Chains A and B, each alone.
Chain A
Amino acid sequence: MNVYADNAATTKMSRTAINAMLPYLDECYGNPSSLYWLGQQAAEALQNAREKAARCLGCEPGEITFTSGGSEADNQAITSAAALGEKKGKKHIISTAFEHHAVLHTLKKLQKQGFDVTLLDVHKNGIVSAGEVEAAIRPDTCLVTVMYANNEIGSIEPIAEIGRVCRRKGVLFHTDAVQAAGHLPIDVKLQNIDMLSLSAHKFHGPKGVGLLYARKGIALTSLIEGGAQERGKRAGTENIAGIAAMAAALEESTAHLEENARSVSALRDRLIEGLSGIPHSILNGDRTQRLPGNVNFCFEGIDGESLLLLLDQQGICASSGSACTSGSLEPSHVLLAIGRPPEIAHGSLRLSLCEWNTPEQIDYMLEQIPQVVTYLRGMSPVWRDLQEGKKHYVIQ
């Protein structure tokens, strides 16, 4: 049996999204900047997509800038807010320790330019409180950037509360909603969000396209110089096919958000319950404030990469926060941020589901995963030492 359980990495495109993009790969190939009918046809598609996306987010079409994806949107949001802050002599930014690298690396760059960055603790369950954000705000704070939901452990942050605090204090609030868009409700006005990033391929849209919402009046800094596309804030001929497909996918997933959340979280809960039966395993992230499709466990005594390779042999596509899977020697900064020791963080497994996963696939994973964990533990010197009482279990 084949099981795709890595929907937090990317998703399969929906038929709706594919159909929405096809005309712009075929007959409707015009450049939206051209005056003749073929170009204007593309310009119209661009405008329609912008309106559609705006309806899904509760904002104005003019507040949306199309980008190459979530990383670019994160980079642009933070760079813009920093530039605005710097003009007023405000060079302090608040974020969390477990943001995506698109955020953390941008912040690191700003630190080199003299910005002061506070990374808030996300506690054992991976959730920061609005009160902690408020306490960290200083007179020179120009930006708070907190992700809506974490990509590895799925914990959901109280962004509406954080938004309220920021609005009251007059500090810009950006949220990286890459994992949340299409899966959790978004209403930028209601949630007091000033800037929001999302990426199409996390909700059955195509790869290489995303968007940045920035509230009217927030001047964006261009990361790409050139033509006057996207109101002069993002040069380069627009990816019309990708943008049209993203809008269609966002509209579709937003329309089915509640029913998908219900069915997917039911599968998630069965998977969590089943995997909890593996001795010396622990769920990462909050049990209830959790993305509908996210399951993330640490298994003591084994390495995540070996686990993934063996699961792959059984047809299961999953991911891990193990160092070895990322090309670095450091285990996941997210798991370290929630207090998992490195040796435990190495043994993590992330399964991320979508509405197309079936109960049969859950059963299959619950049959395969414990077997693979047992097999790897059988050849692990760490597990042997734990079993012989030479070391103490970290996970009880």
Chain B
Amino acid sequence: MLYSETVMDHFTHPRNVGVIEDADGVGEAGNPVCGDIMKIYLKVKDDVITDVKFITFGCGSAIASSSMATELIKGKPVSEALKLTNKAVAEALDGLPAYKMHCSVLAEEAIRAALKDYYEKKGLPFDEAGSLATQAATVPAAEDKIKKENQTQAE
């Protein structure tokens, strides 16, 4: 089996699918050329994520990663959501195949983008809350690392 039971469960019964028309923050990650796009919508009240929805174009693990990531941040304070890592998403899914790890990275990126949008809409500096500068730098680095791992595996 390519995917764990948890991945298949979240793929076939995705949680939090949909859009929030009056969202407090919207974020997108990925592009159609590489085959995955995730869009995350947040509703925030008193710095707590009261609702979150997603729509995703992509493979089974992209949909499952979106579903799991939204579950992990729903009802959590914004500060905690900012700490969500791709590793945590993958672990909660009981693992992803190595060449699918980028799906969990996209989930992390999309959520961070939605949080950034929330901060910007509120006129708050994003840096202070989430130290974006360091995180933004780690995300592409993580992707590079995954790419390298994949290449090694393929060879």
Contacts and interface: CB of A to CB of B under 8 A. Distances in A.
Interface of A: 301-303, 305-306, 309-310, 313, 322-324, 327-329, 331, 341-343, 346, 379-384
Given A310-B12, A343-B32, A379-B14, A301 B57 contact: yes
A327 B99 contact: yes
Contact of A324 (B18, B32, B100): B100
A305 B60 contact: yes
B2 to A, nearest CB: 9
Interface string B1-31: 0000000100110100111000000001000
A331 B35 CA distance: 8
A11 B63 CA distance: 31
A384 B99 CA distance: 27
B34 interface: yes
A303 B57 contact: yes
Contact of A322 (B59, B100, B154): B59
Given A306-B11, A306-B59, A381 B17 contact: no
B38 interface: yes
11 contacts: A306-B60, A309-B12, A310-B12, A323-B34, A324-B58, A329-B34, A341-B33, A380-B55, A380-B57, A381-B57, A383-B57
Contacts of B59: 303, 305-306, 322, 324
Given A379-B17, A379-B55, A384-B55, A329 B99 contact: yes
Contacts of B61: 324
Contact of A381 (B11, B28, B35, B60): B28
Contacts of B33: 341-343
B86 interface: no
Nearest to A377: B57
A301 B32 CA distance: 9
Contact of B56 (A309, A322, A379): A379
B32 A382 contact: yes
A379 B15 CA distance: 12
B99 A380 contact: no
B58 A306 contact: yes
Given A306-B59, A328-B99, A382 B37 contact: yes
Given A342-B33, A379-B55, 13 more contacts: A306-B63, A324-B58, A324-B60, A327-B154, A329-B34, A342-B35, A343-B33, A346-B32, A379-B17, A380-B37, A381-B39, A381-B55, A382-B57
B51 to A, nearest CB: 17
Interface string B83-96: 00000000000000
B114 interface: no
Contacts of B39: 381
B62 interface: yes
Q: How many B residues are at the interface, by size bracket?
A: 20 to 34
Nearest to A323: B35
B37 A381 contact: yes
A122 to B, nearest CB: 21
A309 B35 contact: no
Interface in B128-155: 150, 154
A167 to B, nearest CB: 39
A309 B59 CA distance: 9
B128 to A, nearest CB: 30
Nearest to B99: A327
Nearest to A331: B35
B60 A309 contact: yes
Contacts of A346: 32, 35
A341 B31 CA distance: 13
B55 A313 contact: no
The 4 closest A-B pairs by CB, nearest first: A343-B32, A324-B59, A305-B59, A381-B39
Contacts of B56: 379-381
A138 to B, nearest CB: 34
B81 to A, nearest CB: 20
Interface in B98-124: 99-100, 102
Contacts of B36: 303
B12 A313 contact: yes
Given A301-B57, A303-B58, A305-B59, A381 B38 contact: yes
Contact of A309 (B11, B14, B19, B38): B11
Contacts of B34: 323, 329, 342
A302 B12 CA distance: 15
A66 B34 CA distance: 40
Interface string B53-72: 00111111111000000000
A313 B60 CA distance: 13
A294 to B, nearest CB: 23
A306 B19 CA distance: 20
Nearest to A301: B57
A7 B62 CA distance: 28
Interface centre among A310, A322, A346 (most CB of B within 10 A): A346
A303 B62 contact: yes
Contacts of B18: 379
